[in-house]
Structure 1
Amino acid sequence: MPKVQIMSVIGSAVPAPLRERGLLACWYLVQDGVTISGPLTSLPAAQALSQRIGPYVLSA
């Protein structure tokens, strides 16, 4: 089974609403190159969500 990974983006890759709030980075959970959550506004939030869903996401 594929692992869930945390991906960060910075600068212009951050969605406009977050940039408008002054955020210059955000984080997503990714599985096999596909975004499965986010954008999350902090690394601790991404880590917490990753731990809650576990190392693997079961596909339907």
Structure 2
Amino acid sequence: MPKIQIMSVIGSAVPAPLRELGLLACWYLVQDGVAISGPLTSLPAAQALSHRMGTYALDA
């Protein structure tokens, strides 16, 4: 089973709607180099979603 990783992005890589809310970082779940989730607003949210999907790894 492919591993799901958590990727963080900061600054201008954060989607504009999140930056407009004042967020300077967001997180995505990634599998085989492809984002499998939309931007998540916190690391705990990304970890929880990853756990619900069955695996967890942190490569942020």
- TM value normalised by structure 2: 0.89
Query: Do residues 9 (structure 1) and 32 (structure 2) align?
Result: no
Query: 2:39 corresponds to which residue?
Result: 39
Q: Superposition RMSD on alpha carbons, in Å?
A: 1.2
Please identify the structure whose Cα radius of gyration is greater. 1
Structure 2 Cα separation of the partners of residues 11 and 25 of structure 1:
6
Give the length in aligned residue pairs.
56
- Runs (5+) with no aligned partner, structure 2: none
Aligned-residue sequence identity (percent) comes to: 89
Deviations 1:9-56 (A, max 9, x none): 000000000000000000000000000002000000000000001128
- TM value normalised by structure 1: 0.89
Runs of 4+ with >6 A deviation: none
Query: 2:54 corresponds to which residue?
Result: 54
